[in-house]
């Protein structure tokens, strides 16, 4: 309906379906996600929780057959088998209920539970980029969003090098899922840690997105919207450069401005 008139036509909508992730047959979490790149999503999720650190830590990922009453496969249940010697997820990681597409942090027992041991400290990462390069990332991200153009309803996460070249982009109805898909892509490709890179996300920068970036060894996280106070606190604690409100040539640099050639005032 527009200006008092109306028309009837089909509309393309974003797909949102549950994905249950199991480890060795035991349910770990159920997240609402946009189908696609599910293996990357599972691998990235496990990296963010400190369960795996490399492709070799995962023996296999497969869809569970017979997920429906009639024996069909809905492709909404994944089972991950870890390699020998890789410890299973700690009980505090388990989220035996739905995680909404807007919030991956819900269900954590406490903030202490998400301060997972960091495998690759990012505080000493030598990444240096300039504000002009960073200012171009939102346009690069938007230009690469194929599904968003049809639906207008997806978040995106993009991995860039120091020169602003896009290495990987993933879209999902949940911003944390989009990040997991990027990290999972890098994990399965043997590219962790992601030193010298920047992660650009649509929407806001939450505590959990900072955690996911740090766990993958990414030293810079930028968002088009605001960070949370906990996101800033964690970024400062771990040495991550956190940028918010990145729009055009304007941005707020909350932590480690030295990576952009800036000095704290």
Catalytic-residue membership of 106: no
CB 26, CB 9: distance < 8 Å: no
Task: Please tell me the predicted confidence (pLDDT) of residue 90.
Answer: 75
What is the rounded distance in angstroms from the CA atom of residue 154 to the CA atom of residue 152? 6
- Active-site residue, from 64, 103, 106, 168: 103
pLDDT of res. 70: 65
- Tens-place pLDDT, residues 71-109: 666 679 999 999 999 999 876 555 544 454 444 444 344
In the block, tokens 């599904």 appear at: 147
Pseudo-torsion of CA 226, 263, 194, 57, nearest 10°?
-80
Q: What distances in angstroms separate CA 227 from CA 34, 94, 206, one per listed residue?
A: 24, 26, 6
What integer pLDDT is reported at residue 69 of this predicted model? 65
Residues 34-71: pLDDT tens digits? 998 999 999 999 999 889 999 999 999 999 876 566 66
Is the separation of the CB atoms in 90 and 163 below 8 Å? no
Identify whether the C-beta of residue 61 lies closer than 8 Å to the C-beta of residue 80. yes
| Tokens 């996460």 -> residue | 157
Q: What is the pLDDT of residues 188-220, one digit of tens each?
A: 999 999 999 999 999 899 999 999 999 999 999
> Rounded mean pLDDT of 169-178?
93
* Among candidate residues 36, 98, 31, 22, the one with its CA nearest the CA of residue 65: 22
The 10s digit of each residue's pLDDT in 96-149 is 444 544 444 443 443 555 455 788 999 999 999 999 999 999 999 988 876 544
Exposed/middle/buried for 250, CB within 10 Å: 0-12, 13-18, 19+?
A: exposed
């Amino acid at each position: 309906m527009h200006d008092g008139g109306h028309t009837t036509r089909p509309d393309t909508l974003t797909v949102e379906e549950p994905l249950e992730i199991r480890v060795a047959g035991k349910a770990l979490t159920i997240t609402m996600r946009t189908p696609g790149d599910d293996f990357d999503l599972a691998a990235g999720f496990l990296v963010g929780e400190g369960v795996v650190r490399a492709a070799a830590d995962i023996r296999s990922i497969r869809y569970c057959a017979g997920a429906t009453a009639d024996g069909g496969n809905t492709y909404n249940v994944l089972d991950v088998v870890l390699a020998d010697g890789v410890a299973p997820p700690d009980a505090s990681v388990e989220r035996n209920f739905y995680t909404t597409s807007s919030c991956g942090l819900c269900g954590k027992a406490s903030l202490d539970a998400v301060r997972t041991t960091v495998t690759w400290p990012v505080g000493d990462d030598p990444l240096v980029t300039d504000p002009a390069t960073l200012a171009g990332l939102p346009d690069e991200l938007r230009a690469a969003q194929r599904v968003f153009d049809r639906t207008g309803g997806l978040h995106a996460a993009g991995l860039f090098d120091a020169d602003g070249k896009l290495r990987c982009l993933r879209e999902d109805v949940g911003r944390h899922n989009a990040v997991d898909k990027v990290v999972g892509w890098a994990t399965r490709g043997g590219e962790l840690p992601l030193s010298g890179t920047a992660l650009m996300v649509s929407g806001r920068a939450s505590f959990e997105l900072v955690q996911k970036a740090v766990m993958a060894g990414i030293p810079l996280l930028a968002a088009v919207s605001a960070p949370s106070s906990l996101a800033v606190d964690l970024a400062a604690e771990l040495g991550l450069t956190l940028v918010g409100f990145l729009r055009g040539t304007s941005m707020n640099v909350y932590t480690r401005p030295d990576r952009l050639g800036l000095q704290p005032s």
